Structure 1
Amino acid sequence: MGVSVIIRIIVNAIALWAAVLLVDGVDIETTTTAGAIGVYLVVGVIFGLVNAVIKPIVKTVGCAFYVLTLGLIALVVNALLLLLTAWIAGLLGVPFTVSGFWPAFFGAIIIAVVSWLLSLFVGGRDD
């Protein structure tokens, strides 16, 4: 694994942590700090994989919707990708949950903003 991949995982984990802190309905269920860090890192990997694999396909297939909505559909797509991440985490037994569309919507906004801010400091994001 390259350094940029590790940086992206850590950035994703920190952004997810911010979403858990700020948005009711985006939660992890662990009692220890070490367990929480592990959950954030695992969910950061899942979130990164979902964004790397699914998001380009959705952007390509839904190009017309991006144009028609002036890119606002990206907010909905990001929310759905966060819900997909929570679903995959649940399948893998990772205690990360998103309780519905609106928590996913606001959580995805928090994640995008925090990721963008962190990428200003560490670099390496091409989104």
Structure 2
Amino acid sequence: MRRFLIRLVVNAVALWLTTLIVAGVSVVSFDDGDGFATVVTYLLVALVFGLVNGILGNAIRIVAFPLYILTLGLLSFIVNGLLLLVVAWFTSLAGFGLVVDGFWWGVLGALVLGLIGGALNLILRPLTRERNG
């Protein structure tokens, strides 16, 4: 449970930093004036992103494995951009959440999100290790 919560917070922080860096990616809170609502919105979007990436992303990666090899992994940028667009679509159904201005903004946002998330996971790796004993 602790590992899940740490990963959720890391994804939310990475998403927040991505919205600051990439102009075409933003998050719309369900209550514009409340800071707590903004934090909850980022956590909800990070949860949806984790679910979409874990379920749909893994299925796409398994099916498209030969294409990944053929393109030397460059297809992953396109797939990650599409997954970010799927997250934006899912969260927009609730009336708040992730907003991506276009496909290429999605690809750039996914690249930045992956880099920031990877760096944060590397820094916080000791917190997510399971202790034996």
The unaligned stretches of length 5 or more in structure 2 are none
TM-score, normalised with respect to structure 2: 0.88
**Identity across aligned pairs (percent)?**
37
Deviation at 1:28, TM superposition (A): 1.7
Structure 1 residue 29 displacement after superposition: 2.5
Q: SS state of the match for residue 26, structure 2?
A: strand
Match of 2:51 among 49, 52, 55: 49
Deviations 1:22-81 (A, max 9, x none): 111211224332221111100000000001101111011101110001111001100000
Structure number with bigger Rg: 2
| Matched pairs, number | 124
SS class of match (1:49): helix
User: Which SS does the other structure have where 1:8 is aligned?
Assistant: helix
Give me the CA root mean square deviation.
1.4
Aligned equivalent of 1:40: 42
Unaligned runs of 5+ in 1: none
The SS at the match of 1:96 is strand
The TM-score normalised by the length of structure 1 is 0.91
- The aligned runs of 1:67-78 (5 Å cut-off) are 67-78=69-80
Pair 1:99-2:93 in alignment = no
**Offset at 1:104?**
0.5
Q: Trace 1:1-127 onto structure 2 (pairs within 5 A).
A: 2-30=1-29, 31=32, 32-123=34-125, 124=128
Structure 2 Cα separation of the partners of residues 6 and 69 of structure 1: 35
